[in-house]
Structure 1
Amino acid sequence: MTQNILITGAAGYIGGSILADFLSRTSSPIKDSRIYATVRSEEQAQRLSKIDGVNVIQVDLSDEASVSEAVLRNEIDIVLHIASSMATQLAANLINALGERRKASGAQTYFVQSSVTALLSIEGGWPYGEVKDTDAIFEKEKEIGGPNPVRQTNILVTELAKAQGVTSFNVALPHVYGTGSGEWSKLSSSIPTYVRTSIAHKQVYKFDVEGRPPAVHISDLVSLYALLTTKILQKEPMPSGEQGHYFGFNHRSPYWAVMDRIATSLHARGLVADASVKTWPSYKMAAEAMSLPELYIRAMCTSTGDLVPVNAYKIGWQPEWTEERYLADIDAEVQAALDLDMIKSSRYDTLLSAEK
């Protein structure tokens, strides 16, 4: 029986790349499914509607009634939630709607949450040291608690999905890089933010602590979502619910080395005064310069975390990019930022508003 897949955040960098990958498939269980995509604006809806094979739904995901109507009317079986890990209500509305869908159809429904790896670092409030995605992450996040909106969303997803009879998975997203294949946003926010800020100050800055956060190329991350979706469609058993965590990374991003290469690239283009990298005088100044929330900037920009991915490899994930290949490609990343994305991202507007 044909199943219907809904991708939220389909106009974004990751969601758009997943959508493009799914639509490009010529033979697979995904090819045999109907693909739906949610967008926020009329402009996004019109642009995505021109793509063959996608059914566009313009909906406010914070409106519970609208979400329920969209999921039930379009008979959605699987939701890949890429839109936001910071707004708990969005995930709640989607899971509740999938619960209604399950009751109406009698068939199993699935929810894939997109979290972040930064939560599992000391800077992100993780006190337990090394963590594998096979560990009891849900129980430990409940012990930590606190106001972090992403952690609150993670806990809600697991608990509410279980209560609604919805099978849930949680993909922890690292630093993602590379040019995406979506129709709308082509780049992640990280390197374009560093490039934009450096040009504005005529100087490249780094933090006083070198983080080595987990990282993944967008194509490798998309392949993980595709693998999860394929196995869901084929009804293959996989860790889910409280055990359903998947760390979506395969190498590290050495922050100081990245900034050194960004400085070299920008100086060669005459966009900064010299090729040296200075240290930010304060985290407050850095947060203001990059339009990032000061409360979370340490976790976002200096975290490392002792994470060990296991589950993704167990189900057959085979990423292709390495740290060496990534560092060698930084100049291309800078050029892509200059060509494609020199506009401030609105990704962290919710957190910025909460600080005020």
Structure 2
Amino acid sequence: MASPYNVLITGTSGFIGGSLLADLLSRTDGPIKNAKIFAAARSDEQVESVSKLGINVLQIDLMDEKSVLNAVLKNEIDIIVHTAGAILPQMATNLIKSLGERRRASGTETHYIHTSVATMFSEEGGWPYGQVKDSDDSILEKEKEIGEANPINVLVAELGKAEGVTTYNVPVPTVYGRGTGEWRKLSVNIPAITRASMKLKTVYKFEKDGHPPAIHISDLTALYAAILEKIILKETIPSGEKGYYFAMAHKSPWWEVMERLAQSMHARGLVSEPTAKVWPSYEVAAEHTGFPLIFIRAIGTSNGDLVPVNGPKIGWQPKWTEKMYLDSIDDEVQAVLDLDTVKMTLWDSL
């Protein structure tokens, strides 16, 4: 029997959203193949590009409440996977409220899968509580205690509850690998450092080593798909204030990553030395990588002791390991050389 669900993916011209769309459309069996997939895009050019996939592409200004509401109601959207500008509260508000209106108008259940930032759960990102499992019942309450540091996660859970929309939160860490979407195929972090290194003829690292969580893009899209499958099958899984799904496959040992990056780039003649030096300051790092100064310390030196429980509980098992990641750094450099045709920022990926 065909699934009644209409699924809208935002950010489909971006790295994560585009790769997720490609993943979902490639599935020839399972519950997702029966869902009707819609893609959201911003510009005429992006709409034209994504439309080549033969699906319904909606040109929506996610910051415009009426635009979002009209798109959700007209196309009877039941599930939204939000990967575009997901750190912007207004977008989340518009999407969740529109799903609330859809639920009230149709009487059907509606679901919202939010993409947030895993760095929020590191000491450098404002998380003072140490190790955290995504199955911990107290995450949301702790985020409320933190206050302004993590407002988006609180907003998603509380507004979803108020609107009768079932919400899920996927905190995303460092993502690597080549994307499979139609528009942006490069990740953010390593390409930004690679570009800066090419410009400066030197690979730089921060004075403090970090071991943040990381994930390959294919493992990330598989997590979204696992959540979607459970929703379509009407199975009860953690949601709302308990609906966190840490998208972590392994750690990223930053100093070692930078050394491998330096070796790879030096072998190509892109930098002058095969070893990494320390950034002169956070200000210089922010200027050359393009990351906002307010976030550069957390991006470059964070750790974060995240333990994914809910994802594996619903059947998600990442395939990429830390060793595979480190061994792929040369491929990351090549990807920048092959694919760096569209300027990428932190905000584009989220």
Mapped to 1, the partners of 2:10 and 2:273 lie a distance apart of: 42
Q: Name the CA distance, whole Å, in 2 between partners of 1:126 and 1:215.
A: 18
1:251-285 superposed Cα distances (whole Å, 9 cap, x missing partner): 01100000001100110011111112110011111
C-alpha separation between the residues in 1 aligned to 2:248 and 2:349? Answer: 26
Q: Which runs of 5+ in 1 are unaligned?
A: 352-356
Which digits, 9 at most, give the CA deviation of each residue in 1:170-222, with x for residues without a partner?
Answer: 00101110011111111111111111000100111000011111011111111
Paired residues of 1:191 and 1:337 also in contact (CA < 8 A): no
Work out the CA distance in 1 between the residues paired with 2:344 and 2:249. Answer: 25
Q: Does 1:228 align with 2:227?
A: yes
Residues of 1 paired with 2:89 and 2:82: CA distance? Answer: 12
Q: Distance in 2 between matches of 1:194 and 1:140?
A: 33
> In the alignment, which of 22, 30, 41 is matched to residue 28 of structure 1?
30
CA distance in 2, matches of 1:51, 1:272: 39
Q: CA deviation at 1:350?
A: 12
Deviation string, structure 1 residues 296-349 (Cα, Å, up to 9, x no partner)? 111111100111111111111111110001101110111011111264323348
**Distance change in 2, residues 1:322/1:211 (3 Å):** same
In the alignment, structure 1 residue 320 sits paired with structure 2 residue 322: no
Which residue does 2:144 correspond to in 1?
142
Q: TM-score, normalised by structure 2?
A: 0.97
Please report the TM-score for the alignment, with normalisation by the length of structure 1: 0.95
Q: Distance in 2 between matches of 1:323 and 1:57?
A: 38
The amino acid of 1:308's aligned partner reads: V
Q: Which residue of 1 aligns with 2:256?
A: 257
Q: Which amino acid aligns with 1:110?
A: H
Match of 2:218 in 1: 219
Equivalent residues in 2 for 1:326-345 (5 A)?
326-341=325-340, 343-345=342-344
Cα pair 1:196 1:342 within 8 Å, conserved: no
Aligned residues: 347
Does the 8 Å CA contact 2:10/2:40 hold for their aligned counterparts?
Answer: yes
**Is the contact between residue 84 and residue 349 of structure 2 (CA under 8 Å) also seen in structure 1?**
no
In the other structure, the counterpart of 2:206 is 207
1:217–1:321 contact (8 Å) kept in structure 2? yes
Contact 2:187–2:349 under 8 Å retained in 1: no
Match of 1:131 in 2: 132
Letter in 2 for 1:32: N
Q: Which runs of 5+ in 2 are unaligned?
A: none
- Structure 1 residue 244: Cα displacement: 0.4
Partner of 2:120: 119
Q: 2:274 aligns to what?
A: 275
Would the aligned equivalents of 1:193 and 1:344 in 2 still touch at CA under 8 Å?
A: no
CA–CA distance in structure 1, aligned partners of residues 35 and 347 of structure 2: 33
Counterpart amino acid of residue 143 in structure 1: E
Residues 5, 78 of structure 1: 8 Å contact kept: yes
Amino acid across the alignment from 1:301: G
Q: Does 1:191 align with 2:190?
A: yes
The answer to whether the 8 A contact 2:15-2:183 is kept is yes
What's the offset of the Cα at 1:134? 1.2
Percent of paired sites with the same residue: 57
Kindly indicate whether the alpha-carbon contact (under 8 Å) linking 1:145 and 1:152 is maintained by their aligned counterparts in 2.
Answer: yes
Match of 1:7 among 9, 17, 20: 9
Deviations 1:237-259 (A, max 9, x none): 10000000010112011000000
Counterpart of 2:67 in structure 1: which amino acid?
S
Q: Distance in 1 between matches of 2:332 and 2:41?
A: 27
How big is the alpha-carbon RMSD for the aligned residues of Structure 1 and Structure 2? 1.4
